[in-house]
Structure 1
Amino acid sequence: MEEGLRERKKRETRQRIADIAMGLFLQRGFDNVTVAEVARTADVSVNTVFNYFRTKEDLFLDRSEESEDLLARAVRERRAGETAVEAVRRDFFEALGTGDWRYGMSEGLDLFTQRVRESEALQSRVRMLEVHREERLARTLAEDADADPDDLTPRLVAAQICAVVRTLTRHFAMRQMAGEDPPLIRADIRVHAERAFDLLERGIGDYCLRPEPGSLSLPQAGERSTPAPR
């Protein structure tokens, strides 16, 4: 009970610091706000801020851990009979339909993106986040498919999935920054996303299929189900 209350207080403190920091960053720009200002506004010490966030960039990207694990988690938690692509597709459209933040289709993405574009430090950090997300997805695919260490297929599949998600997210952000109405953009993104995931499924749709209980394993993408003719 004591431990539970203590952990909850830590989470609440961390979230309060992150929310205050993001408000300052969005209002004034990332490079124009110091950690000391964040600490002063949050009524905590600078050391307290760094106890919860290793770097200033972590204050801006306080959900980076969740974001890096986003696609790998969708694959790990996929349903029976569902491929990796199908799992990501379902998760993407669920987020799109609710306006959830995790795929960047939420209100305020335009200002968030603008602040990233203004800061070289944030641009570098976002690029690393995207690299880590792809690496995590590739590892998850390799583990679930029991791929050989020399098999590049998990990395190739991860790269294609990440490219689709990244392209759709950036398209949404650019149009929102241009002043278009988010609900209208989401409706258009839905059409683009259907097409994008259709292309993925035709190319790698059978890769990493989770068998139905009691069913035989199906061949992986690129494998032949019958011997090749001589």
Structure 2
Amino acid sequence: MEKASVDESAELPLRERKKRATRQRISDIATPLFVERGFDHVTVAEIARAAGVSAMTVFNYFPRKEDLFLDRIPETVEMFTAAVRRRGPGETPLASLRRLALELLDQRHPLSGVDDDFPAFWQVVIDSPALRARAREGVEEVEHALADALRETAEFRDPHLVAALTVAAYRSVYVTSARRLLAGERADDVAGDHAARLGAAFDALERAVSPALDD
């Protein structure tokens, strides 16, 4: 589902690629079961049998059942921090994050939040308190990791504040588009507004955080 510009898996060692492929296969088997029957009505043992692995193997890849469904939290952390750490010469952290956000939208990547297939996924999350709680934790994980990346590579007085504002802005745009799709609008009708709101959000972030730069 991911395009080369946001997927560096081809550069990984063969062993790591195989591990990621196994992890993705287990998640791909689990997701339709959760969508069909609801998160709380599918057990890890059922998923393990369907994937042809042991329950222990499932837990080796996914420490919690919730991570089987919300399996892109580590990927989100990796993408956002890599955008900051590997940005080009002269590119600001927010410029690199803006570029990433627009790339994800162009590709209809799951992390963009804009695709006609996503409402069924979100409905499972909405219906499960455990998934909603894990999603909130995932947002905090991204925020803390982004703060670390900013602290290491940029001169902000308060990197954690900048990270918190950035994640909050991105989440706001994402949630607004998700609500429209859940209400029955089509992704093609939402994408333009989504891009515009991303642009406005990052413009506001640039104005807000520029005074936070060290002199």
TM-score (norm 2): 0.86
Shift of 1:206: 7.6
CA distance in 2, matches of 1:8, 1:125: 26
Structure 1 unaligned runs (5+)?
Answer: 208-219, 224-230
1:120 aligns with 2:125: no
* Letter matched to residue 100 of structure 1: H
Does the 8 Å contact 2:39/2:124 carry over to 1?
Answer: yes
1:110 Cα deviation after fit: 1.3
Counterpart residue identity of residue 68, structure 1:
V
Give matches, 1:118-197, under 5 Å.
118-145=127-154, 151=157, 153-197=158-202
Cα 1:177/1:9, change in 2 over 3 Å: same
1:95 corresponds to: 104
Q: Deviations over 1:84-133 (max 9, x none)?
A: 11111111111111212223233422122111111111111111111111
Q: What's the RMSD between the two structures over aligned residues? A: 2.0
Contact 1:164 1:196 in 2 (8 A): yes
CA distance in 1, matches of 2:17, 2:153: 34
Counterparts of 1:160 and 1:192, CA distance in 2: 15
1:95, 1:102 within 8 Å by CA — same for their partners in 2? yes
- For the residue of structure 2 that corresponds to 1:69, the secondary structure is helix
Residues 8 and 67 of structure 1: is their aligned pair in 2 closer, same or farther, counting only changes over 3 Å?
closer
Partner amino acid, structure 2, of 1:109? F
Q: How does 1:12-91 map to 2 (within 5 A)?
A: 12-91=21-100
Please identify runs of 4+ aligned residues in structure 1 that moved more than 4 A: 4-9
Cα deviations by residue, 1:181-227 (Å, 9 ceiling, x for unpaired): 101101111122221111112222586xxxxxxxxxxxx35x4xxxx
**What amino acid is aligned across from residue 66 of structure 2 in structure 1?**
E
Q: 1:58-87 CA deviation, whole Å, 9 max, x = no partner? A: 211222211123322211111111111111
Q: 1:86, 1:205 within 8 Å by CA — same for their partners in 2?
A: no
1:187 counterpart letter in structure 2? G
- For the 8 Å contact 2:114–2:190, the answer to whether it is kept is no
Pairs aligned (count):
203
Structure with the bigger percentage of helix:
2
Structure 2 distance, partners of 1:66, 1:17, is: 16
CA distance change for structure 1 residues 193 and 10 in 2, over 3 Å: closer, same or farther?
A: closer
Letter of the structure 2 residue corresponding to residue 140 of structure 1: A
1:191 partner letter: A
Identity %: 45
Native 8 Å contact 1:83 1:206 kept in 2: no
Q: Does 1:111 align with 2:116?
A: no
Gaps of 5+ in 2: 1-12
Of residues 190, 198, 201 in structure 1, which corresponds to 2:203? 198
Which of these two proteins has the greater Rg computed from alpha carbons? Answer: 1
